[in-house]
Amino acid sequence: MSHDFDLIIKNGILVDGTGNAKRNADIGIQGDKIIYIGNINSHPDSDFIDATGYIVAPGFIDIHSHSDFFWLVSPESESKIYDGVTTEICGNCGISAFPLKGQVLENKKKGFNKFGLDINWQTAEDFFKRADEAESSINRGFLVGHGNIRACVLGYEDREPDNNELIKMEQELRKAMESGAFGMSSGLVYPPGCYAKTDELITLCKIVREFNGIYATHMRDEGDELEAALSETINISKESGVNTQVSHIKTWGEKNWWKIDKIESLLEDARAEGIKITCDRYPYTASATDLDIILPDWVYEGGTTKEKKRLGDPFCRERIIKEMKQEGLSQEFWGTIMISSVFNKDNRSYEGKTIAEISKTLKVPPLEFVLDLLYEEDCRVSVIFFNMSEENLARILKWDSVMVGSDSSLRSLKGVLNYGKPHPRGYGTFSRIIRKYVNDTSILSIEEAIYKMTGFPAQTLGLKDRGILKEGFFADITIFDQETIAEQATFTDPHNYSTGIKNVLVNGKLTITNGKHESIMNGAILKK
């Protein structure tokens, strides 16, 4: 053998990310690439890792992340890399780091000022310049948010764009795609995305298709109107020809659990028709988002300032209460919502408690408490909803169309990102997949699980030379003990890194060594 290796991984059990059966083999690395896979006998001058008894897999790819701004605050990306992640895709759910103009720029500056982040860019081009100059321990790619595009042109108004405004939206999208975005995301339950009509989305998705990008969508509904929302998504994909990714596919709310058969059928029929549609999902039966998502859409119209004004207006408040009471919200419903984080230190005692618990303690009706809290917190309250079916989750993870994504930003045990009681998926998504759904329940084989976390998302995104252990591919590699890998983050004690991951390489550099972060910043900004 004539190869010169910088690093050799010896005696590992390779699960290569293709779905093929695991096998024993060595890996030879030179620079940032894998240059040999096979049997390597003697290279005394090369550094080596003894992977005897360990799984050697491609670095995990988090296809659904929200670290758009946080990675600039914490380039170590600890919660991600300690979970085996070497690449994350940001800009999901219609919310992205670019473009930023007008009210959306002011909102982001205000929101991230507390983290010490200077947002000094507006365009996609300027963001990527900033990103290329920044350091990170892992790789990142970015989607452009439809919500950002719409807010830059229309603000937070509940109306359709006129022809000139639609042209401006198209221009913003083209600029983002030309700068390197992998596609466009939408968040059709959040303002201003919730005000967009189907035709608007089809028009924009045709542009995404021109660039061979993906359309990742947080659909218009995941509960009562789930079938209609999925049908709309399929129609958008069909009419535009775009490759579509359904974000965190779920049946939200116990009364909607039975719809699992219907959505499986809709997806299968669409794929049989030749429509390119895939999904991602995190391995938990609780979701996390903003508390004001439960309010009627008209409350958000015009942006946060107007939303807060409506919450403080007696007439509007009465209207909100009347409309929400018509939905028949029960005490059980309020018991499924846990306050995750607030900004006002005087309200920190609410974190980790359900609205039902707080309401009972304060002797205030739950809805009254919610409206008061949102007003006090300038509408910035994060919550966790416990309302999904474990049986449905296990079934969804088995679908051929589904891969794994955390739906979370990075966190840290230190500094400004150690706050609140965030959803544990930000720390433990990928280790939990292996611990629970491979080891404990055998829902997935180790080969299936790794494929859903590596090769499948790479293929979906069109990532070149990543996601698979293959000669000529980038050396993004996660080495772990299958028997001991486990998430340590819980809902009551979320700030804990996963265990069982021995080594992580990013672009050929050993970044986690024997479970310890080496502060190596070898991550790359990936572009379409």
Q: Tokens in use for 208?
A: 């995404």
Token pair 């309401």 is at which residue?
Answer: 359
Q: How many helices, marked H, and strands, marked E, lie in the chain?
A: 18, 21
Q: Tokens in use for 293?
A: 């998502």
What are the extents of the domains in the chain? Answer: 290-386
Token pair 């083999």 is at which residue?
Answer: 25
Whole-angstrom distance, CA of residue 335 vs CA of residue 354: 6
- Give the SS3 label for residue 160: coil
Nearest to 128 by CA among 429, 528, 525, 411: 525
**Residues 299/311, Cβ–Cβ less than 8 Å:** yes
pLDDT for 2: 57
Q: Tokens in use for 431?
A: 């280790």
The partner residues of 214 in beta bridges, in order of sequence, read: 183, 243
pLDDT for 43: 75
Whole-angstrom distance, CA of residue 149 vs CA of residue 268: 31
Across 3-138, the runs of DSSP E, i.e. the strands, are: 7-14, 23-30, 33-38, 47-50, 55-58, 60-62, 85-90
Q: What is the largest CA-CA distance in the chain?
A: 80
The partner residues of 278 in beta bridges, in order of sequence, read: 245
Distance between terminal CA atoms of the chain? Answer: 36
HEC letters along 239-296: HHCCEEEECCCCCCCHHHHHHHHHHHHHHHHHHHCCCCEEEEECCCCEEEEEHHHHCC
Whole-angstrom distance, CA of residue 79 vs CA of residue 65: 12
What does pTM read for this prediction?
Answer: 0.96
Task: Tell me the mean pLDDT per 10 residues along the chain, length 528.
Answer: 84 98 97 96 83 98 98 97 98 98 91 89 97 97 98 96 98 98 98 97 98 98 97 98 98 96 98 97 97 93 92 95 84 93 94 96 95 95 97 98 98 93 97 98 98 98 96 98 98 97 98 96 97
Q: What is the DSSP string of 305-327?
A: HHHHHHHH-HHHHHHHHHHHHTT
